[in-house]
Amino acid sequence: MGMGSHERYFLDRVVNKVIELESDGVQIYYGNYSKYVTEKELRFLQAMKEYESQQKKIKRMEDQIQRYRIWGEMRDSEKMYKRAKELEKRLEKIDRINKPIVDKKAADFHIDMVERTGREVIKLSDIKKSFGSNKLFDDVNLTLFYKDSLCILGENGTGKSTILKIILNEIAPDKGSIKVGSNVTIGYLPQEVSFDKEDISVADYFSYHYGISLGEARKELAKILFTGDDVYKHIGTLSGGEKSRLKLGMLIYEKVNTLILDEPTDHLDIESREVLEESLINYDGTLLFVSHDRYFVDKIATCIAEIDDKKIKLYEFNYEGYKQEKQRLTESQQVFDETKEERTVSQGRETYIKKKEEQRAKEKAKRDLAKLENSILETENKIIELEKILNTVSDEWDLNEYNLKYNEYIQLKDDMEKMYEELDKFNIKGESHD
């Protein structure tokens, strides 16, 4: 079955082969989306190493040809000229490797060091909110600590975005209090981004807003892919994705130490989402966000707050841990409802322990896979180095030394084949688990 999708969490659990269309053909990757990302990077690094290795070899041969010609001219030696011509013929027969091309440019959401806050960043106490007869939530108590990356989950209409707006004083709670900690500077990315001046160009707005020159503004805007004529677009004509990208770029420029994000990946392409994820993982501040992008949540969240039945419950787990805990609670409740006996507690505990053991096994498999992929990279590097040595043009080779190097090269090739077989086993196991 074939499909196209930007939902990476879905792709991770459904697909077992990825076909990527490129300008010069197609590339096929076996495994889910995460495997595709890893394998693509490995292939790119390998291709770049092969290209650089060949370029060095070509440069050495060209230098040697030049030396032969100089020596031939200095010594009036026909032998040197002959060697130069022979080497030129060998050079012409080389099948040139094209330089690998980096994927289309993604926005640079790199976030520099930000000023640290106190331990308690935001504290909600006994918050209640209703709209008319529709009660969203009651008695919400939640504390966001320094360097937390907290995701608020819940069904549509449960009030996830409303909590963010209460924190930002855009909506008043019916009851309760909000305390923002010391030295906290908040940056907010809403679902629908708008600007106070939309009838001026992107460059003019950025320059005016921060009191910097147009040149400085264009330099910052280029990081988030506003280049060329794009900087002269009026803000009002920008798409939703472009407005989100501009707003994110502004928050990063301001170096806020607390980011509140409402569906931050909604209007971003996959490449920009992944750059944003890596930047947020390395962010020195505190994150509070709402997102339906489960892949994003899985990578970014260190804890989960779920709104359910008009209450909020905090799970001190990442997304995978949260799912396991929810499953454990569900199973425990089901068993309890069926038996109404105390033994259901121990059964639930056994299920919990079993799932923990399964999780440990999965984590070990991940570590083993990472170790294997590192070994593959190291072995590939050794092979490339040996190829450079074996292809070196020299009249001074010792035959025994050459044979030793060649045997080592063959052994590494065999080792590489075995490691790829082992990698295939990991892929098969991963597919069966999915």
Rounded Cα distance, 380 and 42, in Å: 10
Q: Are 18 and 29 in contact (CB under 8 A)?
A: yes
State which residues form the domain around 272: 120-316
Query: Do 434 and 351 reside in the same domain of the chain?
Result: yes
Task: Region of 147 please: left (phi>0), alpha (psi -120 to 50) or beta.
Answer: left
| More confident site: 302 or 295 | 302
> How far apart are the two ends of the chain, measured CA to CA in Å?
17
What are the DSSP calls for 139-171, one per residue?
A: EEEEEEETT-EEEEEE-TTSSHHHHHHHHTTSS
The per-residue pLDDT for range 21-34, each reduced to its tens digit, is 766 667 787 877 77
Whether residue 25 is contained in a domain is answered as: yes
The per-residue pLDDT for range 372-383, each reduced to its tens digit, is 877 888 888 888
Q: What is the mean pLDDT of residues 154-172?
A: 94
Whether residue 195 is contained in a domain is answered as: yes
Number of residues written out for the chain:
434
**Coil, strand or helix at 20:** strand
In the listed set 273, 293, 316, which residue is the last one of a domain according to the structure? 316
Q: Which residues of 167-188 are buried (b: 16+ CB within 10 A; e: fewer)?
A: beeeeebeebebebbeebebbb
Whether residue 108 is contained in a domain is answered as: no
The per-residue pLDDT for range 133-150, each reduced to its tens digit, is 999 999 999 999 999 999
Q: What is the mean pLDDT of residues 190-211?
A: 92
Percent of the chain whose pLDDT exceeds 90? 32
Query: Phi and psi of 63, rounded to 5°?
Result: -65, -40
Of the ranges 99-108, 213-222, 234-243, 246-255, which one carries the lowest mean pLDDT score? 99-108
Rounded Cα distance, 318 and 321, in Å: 5
Query: Do 79 and 149 reside in the same domain of the chain?
Result: no
Q: What is the CATH number of the domain that holds 249?
A: 3.40.50.300
Q: Are 281 and 140 in contact (CB under 8 A)?
A: no
Number of domains in the chain: 3
Whether residue 110 is contained in a domain is answered as: no
Instruction: Quote the pLDDT of residue 7.
Output: 59
Q: Which residues make Cβ contacts (< 8 Å) with residue 271, sequence separation at least 6?
A: 103, 104, 106
Residue 103 has pLDDT above 60, yes or no: no
Residue 207 has pLDDT above 60, yes or no: yes
Q: What is the mean pLDDT of residues 94-105?
A: 70
Query: Do 310 and 334 reside in the same domain of the chain?
Result: no
Query: Do 75 and 222 reside in the same domain of the chain?
Result: no
Query: Do 232 and 202 reside in the same domain of the chain?
Result: yes
What's the predicted TM-score (pTM) here?
0.56
Instruction: Quote the pLDDT of residue 3.
Output: 45
Q: Are 343 and 335 in contact (CB under 8 A)?
A: no
